[in-house]
Amino acid sequence: MTFISLSISCTKTYVLQGVDITKKHTIKIQGVVYARVSSTEQKKSGYSLEAQVKLLRRYAREQNIRIIGEYVEAESAKKAGRDRFAAMLEDLRRLQKTEKHPKTVFAILTEKTDRLYRNFKDYVMIDDLDLEIHLVTENVVISKHSQSSVKFIHSVKVLMAKNFIDNLSEEVRKGMNEKATQGHYPSRAPVGYRNVRRGGKSVMEIDPIAAPVIRGIFEWYTSDCPSLQQVKARIDQKLLTGDITLDYKFSTSNLHRILRNTIYYGDFFWHGVRYHGTHEPIITKEMFLRAQEVSDTNRRKTRKKHTARWAFQGLVRCAECGGIMSADKKKKRYVYYHCSGRVKPCRSRAYVREELLNEAFEEILGAVQLPEELVVRFKNSLESTSQERDEIKATRLHELQTELALLTKRLDLLYRDRLDRVITTEAYKTYKAEIERQCDGIESEILIASEMNGEALRGGIAILELLGTLAQWFQTAEASEKRLCLVATLSNSEWKDGHLQVMYRQPLDAIALAVIEAKKKIGKSLSKSADYPVWCAQRDSNPCFQRERLTT
C-alpha cells in the first residue's frame, strides 16, 4: 500500500459534535478508512463492506481529508488481534514518528463505534495514539479537543458494544448447552462425522468416507495392532496404497484422542457433563471399553519405574548446604555418601560410610519400635474394643430396625384413618411428614451403623505388630525394601557433624514420643539415642508445627 502525504491550505471547520472551535491555518490532514463486517458470510454476500467504503470516501472528500490507506476486513471484533486493524495501528504509529509537519492531523474514518472496536484493549490502543476518530453515521468526532461529555458518551458506547458481545456470548453458550441437553453435539463434528443442516438445525451424521477408518482404528487396536505406533503404521500403509483417501493427520496423539473419545459409541462430554447423543454410533460401547483396557495395559507396561542404585540414595541431605548427598563406591567395595556442594558452596563437604548410615537408621527406627509388653497390651485392648464394638453395633442395629418397623406400622394405620375419615387431610399430611422425617433419620443411622466394621481396628493391630519388630526387620531387609520403609516413616533426614537427624512422618512422630516415655517407665533405655537425636513435631501457640530436638 502506498501512502501519500499532501499539504493543502484550507479552513478546517469542526462541524461535527464534540468540537466547537474553528481553525484557519495551513494544515496537513491524513486519514485512513477502516471498514469491517463481523463474518465471512457477510463479506461473501457483499453486506455493508462496499457501502461502508463508499460512505467514508465521500465523507473524506467533503471534509478535505486525504485518504492515505484503506483497511477492510471481515472478522469478529470480539477478540483483540484483528490483522487489518493491527496493521492500521502499526502504520499510523510509524507515520506519527516520521512525520515532520508540526500541524499534521491523523484520523481514522469509520462508520460507527462498533465497527471500530468492541473490546477495551482496542480502545486503549487507539487512545494512546492521539488520533481523531470520525464516526460518520453517528456525526461525532473524537479528539483531544473534544468536550469531556462527548468523550464520556463515547466511552459509554464502547461499554455498550462490549455488553452486546458479552450478551451475545451468553446467549450462544445457553443455546449450545440446550443443544447438548437435547443430545446434539454443539460443536464441530470430530473426524468420522460431519455437520449437516436438517430442519434449520446443524446436526451430526456419519461421514461415509471417514467413519470406516475410525471403526478400523478401534478394531486394529483391540486385535492386531495393540499399540498406537502399530495403528499409525497400518494407516500410513493404507494411505500409500490408496485404500484410505482421507485428508487428516493421523499422528499418535490424534489416535490417542480418537480412542479416548466417547462420542464414537454415542455419548459425549460438554463442559464436563456427559450427555447421551442422538447421533448414530460408529462403534459399540463394548469395543470402546476394550480399547480402554488395551490402553491402560500399555501404559502400565511402559511406565518407568524409579530404581535407586543405592539404598539411601536421595534420602539424606547435608545440613550445611541442604544439598542431597551423593553415593559413590570406593575401591569397588565401600559405599560412601558425600556432599557434592552443587546447591551452594559447602564448607563441611560431609561424607559418611553407608554402614554407619544403616546403623543410624536402625537406631532411629528402634525409637518407634514398641516393647513386647506394650504390643501385647495394646493388641489385647484393641481386640477387646473390637468385640465390644461388634456387640454394640448389633444391639444398636436391632433397636433401629425395631423402631423403623414401628414407624412403618404407624404410617399404615395413619393411612387407614385417612381413608375412614377419622382424621382430616391436613392432619394426615402433617403426621405423615413427621413420621417420614423420623424414618429418614433412622434409615441414615442404620446405614452408618452397617458400614461400621472392625477393619480399622484390625489394621491398627497389624501396625502395632509391625512396630514391634520394625528394627529387626530393617536389619535383614533388602536395600529396596529399606528404602521404601524409610520413605514411608521418615522425612528431612540430615547429616550434621557426624550425626543423623531426622523427622518422623505423622503419626509416627507422636508414637516416637510415646515409646520413649514408655521405655523410660519400663526401665529400658535407648543405647545410642544420644548419638542420633530425633526431630519430632510439637505444637506451639501457632497453628503450624514447631520442630524441637529431642534427646534421651
Distance CA 168, CA 76 (A): 12
Distance CA 470, CA 57 (A): 91
Distance CA 251, CA 260 (A): 14
Residues 533, 549: contact at Cβ < 8 Å? yes
Residues 261, 253: contact at Cβ < 8 Å? no
For residue 389 the three cell numbers come to 464394638
- Model pTM greater than 0.85? no
Residues 6+ apart with CB under 8 A from 252: 228, 229, 232
Residue type, 169: S
User: Residue 193 has what pLDDT?
Assistant: 92
Angle at 211 between CA 207 and CA 217, to 5 degrees: 160
Residues 6+ apart with CB under 8 A from 441: none
Which residues are bridge partners to 70 per DSSP? 33
- Mean pLDDT, 10 residues at a time, over the chain (552 residues)? 36 40 54 79 58 90 89 66 82 84 84 77 79 87 80 73 66 79 88 85 88 91 85 87 84 90 91 88 92 83 56 79 80 79 69 83 76 70 66 79 88 86 86 84 73 57 68 77 79 81 74 66 47 40 32 30
User: Residue 128 has what pLDDT?
Assistant: 80
* Among 208, 290, 214, 221, CA closest to 250: 214
**From the candidate CATH numbers 3.30.230.10, 2.60.40.10, 3.40.50.720, 3.90.1750.20, the one assigned to the domain spanning 193-302:** 3.90.1750.20
Residues 465, 374: contact at Cβ < 8 Å? no
User: Residue 273 has what pLDDT?
Assistant: 87
Residues 6+ apart with CB under 8 A from 358: 311, 312, 482
User: Residue 529 has what pLDDT?
Assistant: 41
Which residues are bridge partners to 108 per DSSP? 32, 133
8-165, CATH topology level = Rossmann fold (3.40.50)
Cα separation values, 43 from 34, 52, 116, 201, 270, Å: 15, 12, 16, 23, 31
Boundaries of every domain in the chain: 8-165, 193-302, 310-367+474-552, 372-458
Q: How many CB atoms lie within 10 A of CB 225?
A: 18
Please count the residues of the chain.
552
Q: For the segment 185-200, what is each residue's pLDDT rounded down to a tens digit?
A: 888 889 999 988 887 7
Query: Same CATH topology for 8-165 and 193-302?
Result: no
Residues 465, 379: contact at Cβ < 8 Å? yes
User: Residue 288 has what pLDDT?
Assistant: 92
Main-chain phi, psi angles of 141, to 5 degrees: -120, 125
* Among 441, 375, 435, 379, CA closest to 410: 435
Q: Are strands 273-276 and 267-270 parallel, antiparallel or unpaired?
A: antiparallel
Q: For the segment 202-220, what is each residue's pLDDT rounded down to a tens digit?
A: 789 999 999 999 999 999 9
